[in-house]
Amino acid sequence: MARRILLIDDDELLRAAIGDLLESNGYIVATAGAGDAGLEMFHTARPDLVITDLTMPEPNGIEIVRTLSKEEPRPRIVVISGGGERLDSLSNLRRAQSFGADRILEKPFRAKALLDTIEAVLDGNELQMSDAPAG
């Protein structure tokens, strides 16, 4: 049975590209362009995994992680971000981890890095940091 993924990102082009990538790899994908819409969609889509951008208007990715970490059953969560300076971005991604994100992935990333991260999280791999540059 295909796994369900909810993708929350306010960047329309990136959301479409990631959505297409995931669907072409056999995932059922629901998308939301804002945190509040994503949290609402979570309750109807009941995804196996949530991928959320960190830097979005209210609620931001950390708030989404905090909210979803209280759900039962708790979904797997991957946080992606590339906003701000590199050190600031990594600091915020690690902060998302402390609130319950299963994995973090810094933008830009390669399609394979995202797919590998998703597979690892869905398979229960405990490795926490993915930092594969797109180069």
The predicted-structure confidence for 103-131, as pLDDT tens digits, reads as follows 989 888 999 999 999 999 999 865 444 44
| Token representation of residue 85 | 């300076």
Per the CB < 8 A criterion, the answer to whether 126 and 120 are in contact is: no
Q: How far is CA 85 from the centre of its chain?
A: 20
Specify the pTM.
0.86
Predicted confidence (pLDDT) at residue 42 exceeds the cutoff of 60: yes
Beta-strand relationship, 103-106 and 129-130: parallel
Residue 65 makes CB contacts below 8 A (sequence gap 6+) with 52, 77, 79, 96, 99, 100, 101
Predicted confidence (pLDDT) at residue 27 exceeds the cutoff of 70: yes
Predicted confidence (pLDDT) at residue 134 exceeds the cutoff of 80: no
